[in-house]
Chains A and B, each alone.
Chain A
């Protein structure tokens, strides 16, 4: 199955990510966003970073999850290669997500060609029917 598709957007980065489940679609969204900055297929999945975020709704959960990838790049020069064991739960106080991110630290081996500044709610869509589709615009 197609993981994601990059869509045209005048100033920023826009993509749709797909999955059989919300979990799979969120994981693919992280790879789609990474593809705007580096080729995640070429990154060695050597380092693991666990992330845990909460959100009042699914949209906020997605913004904060993708925000972790940007945060790890800025603070630890971490380049995402893969998303493992992503779990989403809906509780009485909202939504929670846990996942393990695999990747490597930025070095001369890798080319980073773009920078995502932030993840936005602009034109965000999360749709679930026979498959889950999420659409995100990121500020570049």
Chain B
């Protein structure tokens, strides 16, 4: 259709009026067929563009981290910054290899610590995140649910989470449960807030459409409300994974006898800065990996969206 209009303006003035009008009219009436023929091509290129953009320009994002790492290596290996404060990357690499290959009584192995930490985050996240989505759905879908649930969640949001640690130790002891509870709480809050906001943000016109189409309540939730809220829910998912890792770091440094936080504690005790750094880097890598995972989900689940950059 857009192609018919320029024709009118561009050439109409110089051509005899009758023939020009008849051509245009034919164009406009033939629109469904010609539109059907030409548009899929346009949409294919539009769909493949984001992928290519990433391939072509993705490496640009790597430049600044590489520069930082190079500076780090140079400054600490030349002694500008003492190895005690900032161990060089090569030192950290051999420390990491050591931690992985030897099962020392002080640290255990790095991979074992990593597994323990991953397990805590996974448990805490599944429990907290699952509860958050359920609670937010109930609160989002009914006034009663909102009145019952939202005040409590809003109060939890303002509560300084790490202030709860001593309370949790009294309640749950010093085993796994206080750590997992803390992670669960940390994961639950951002996911709850975003899911609730996402559900409430679904265009009421779509709800009206569902009503006109005679959708049942569960069909409405499945076809309209949850997909409509999904972009916001996924933002919440990323935030909540971030806070879950944060909570884990704090929880693990208190009364833990295994895990990455335990390694950091031990490193502190024995004044081994390089061990602390290795553990921190593992945290960082795990955090990036989980974030990447969510972004993958996002790209698949939200493939219907035409991004601002691609439009």
Does chain A bind chain B? no
